[in-house]
Amino acid sequence: MAASYPPKSEQLSLFPQRGIRGRKGPPVAEMGALTGKSSLSAAVGAFHGYMRRQGFSQNTVKAFLADLRLLGKHRGLNVPIRQFGNRELSDFLTWMLEYRGVPCSPKTYGRRVTTLKVFFGWLHESGVLGQDPAASIPHNRIVTPLPRFLYAGQVERLLSTTHDMTVGDHPDPRPHLLANLLLETGIKKSECVGIALNDVDRSNPSSPVLYVRYANPRNQHKERKIALSPQLMPTLDRYLAVYQPRKSLFECTARNLEYVLTDVAQRAGLADGVSFEMLRWTCAVRDFRDGMDPDRLRRKLGLSQITWYETADKLKRLVSPAL
């Protein structure tokens, strides 16, 4: 088969998680000291420490803490966390929407529901609470259209077309490398353009990896390494021999790579076209369908906890059986 895209890819261990520097927050309580009798304030402090250790983005930490402070304003920061049940959380959401007197957009409401689910889910999974009071709370978000992705037959047509472009009088291995790389890793357009030659680690020929790095320190929480298939390496070698890049893997603009995908889609007869976003979703759908652990997939895609809730919901809708 022309494709070098493997049927299943696995996300490797992330870099050692970085804390969030330069931010002051509530005192960080030790996890082992928390019980159901602990106050909401103490639990929020421990949660803050957990988010820092896990490398949550600064924006996520700030949003989660603000949402939990709002919960404390409504219910009381000194209330024991065991007194928060489904009814109390539902009352909080009703107060926020109807009685607080401050507008709450659907997007903000959805994020605050996510905060409750992550926070109380963490307390339950850590053994502090016997039940998760937020588990049954519906998001009631705005339902956005399902993203487009390529079906198995379309992937085969795409890769067959790009493979044919690697042979002949004027072989061009770049489309085949680009398509396979995006299907295997699910990286974003900006991440693809930012790949340096030394970001591809081939020290272990049977397990090559791609390091996704960011120059901006604010985005370092998104850095990760992703498994590549050994079958992709011959295509990479042909590409390097033809294009001879010096520093970056793709020494062209993002627009040039978009033109490459557009041209390939036309050659393959794919009426809806092919884009970076479409191949990213194709990768995610295939990994999700193949049973990749959800948190591993979240990290592979470089998504925050907040963004993952909406992405996971879309993936479930995309792969669920037809009605």
pLDDT in tens, 226-240: 999 999 999 999 999
Where residue 66 sits, what CATH number does that domain have?
A: 1.10.150.130
- Read off the pLDDT band of 313 (50, 70, 90): confident
- What is the layout of strands, in order, in the sheet containing 224-227? 200-201, 209-212, 224-227
Where residue 169 sits, what CATH number does that domain have?
A: 1.10.443.10
Q: Is the pLDDT of residue 139 over 50?
A: yes
Q: Is the pLDDT of residue 27 over 70?
A: no
Residue 52 covered by a domain: yes
Q: Quick one: pLDDT at residue 55?
A: 81
Q: Is the pLDDT of residue 268 over 90?
A: yes
Q: Is the pLDDT of residue 32 over 80?
A: no
- Read off the pLDDT band of 5 (50, 70, 90): low
Residue 104 covered by a domain: yes
Domain co-membership, 101 together with 165: no
Looking at 65, 90, 125, the residue that finishes a domain is 125
Domain co-membership, 298 together with 158: yes
Range of the domain at 73: 31-125
Q: Quick one: pLDDT at residue 12?
A: 45
Can you list the pairs that 164-173 forms with residues at least 24 positions away whose Cβ atoms lie under 8 Å?
164/2, 165/264, 165/267, 166/235, 166/238, 171/238, 171/242, 172/242, 173/235, 173/238, 173/239, 173/242
- Read off the pLDDT band of 177 (50, 70, 90): very high
Q: Quick one: pLDDT at residue 143?
A: 57
Q: Give 212's DSSP letter.
A: E
Write the pLDDT tens digit of every residue in 118-135.
Answer: 999 999 999 999 999 999
Q: Is the pLDDT of residue 48 over 70?
A: yes
Residue 278: its H or E element: helix 276-289
Residue 145 covered by a domain: no
Q: Quick one: pLDDT at residue 91?
A: 92
- Read off the pLDDT band of 19 (50, 70, 90): very low
Q: Is the pLDDT of residue 11 over 50?
A: no
Question: What is the rounded average pLDDT of the residues 148-170?
Answer: 96
Q: Quick one: pLDDT at residue 316?
A: 93
Residue 200: its H or E element: strand 200-201
* Whole-prediction pTM: 0.68
Q: Quick one: pLDDT at residue 299?
A: 94
d(CA 61, CA 221) in angstroms, rounded, equals 12
Write the pLDDT tens digit of every residue in 70-95.
Answer: 999 999 999 999 999 999 999 999 99
Domain co-membership, 216 together with 265: yes
Domain co-membership, 108 together with 234: no
Q: Quick one: pLDDT at residue 45?
A: 94
Residue 300 tokens, joined: 């592979």
3-state secondary structure 114-183: HHHHHHHHHHHHCCCCCCCCCCCCCCCCCCCCCCCCCCHHHHHHHHHHHHHCCCCCCCCCHHHHHHHHHH
Question: What is the rounded average pLDDT of the residues 30-44?
Answer: 86
Helix (H, G, I), strand (E, B) or coil at 225: strand
Question: What is the rounded average pLDDT of the residues 166-172?
Answer: 92
Question: Number of folded domains in the chain?
Answer: 2
Question: What is the rounded average pLDDT of the residues 239-251?
Answer: 96
Q: Quick one: pLDDT at residue 21?
A: 36
Q: Quick one: pLDDT at residue 214?
A: 92
Q: In the predicted model, what is the mean pLDDT of the chain?
A: 88
Residue 321 tokens, joined: 């059986």
Residue 38 covered by a domain: yes
Domain co-membership, 219 together with 88: no
d(CA 236, CA 266) in angstroms, rounded, equals 23
Domain co-membership, 38 together with 82: yes
> Within the chain, what is the greatest distance between any pair of CA atoms?
75
Q: Quick one: pLDDT at residue 172?
A: 97
By C-alpha distance, which of 23, 48, 45 is closest to 34? 45
Domain co-membership, 68 together with 204: no
Domain co-membership, 53 together with 201: no
Residue at token pair 């948190």: 295
Q: Quick one: pLDDT at residue 141?
A: 55
Q: Quick one: pLDDT at residue 16?
A: 36
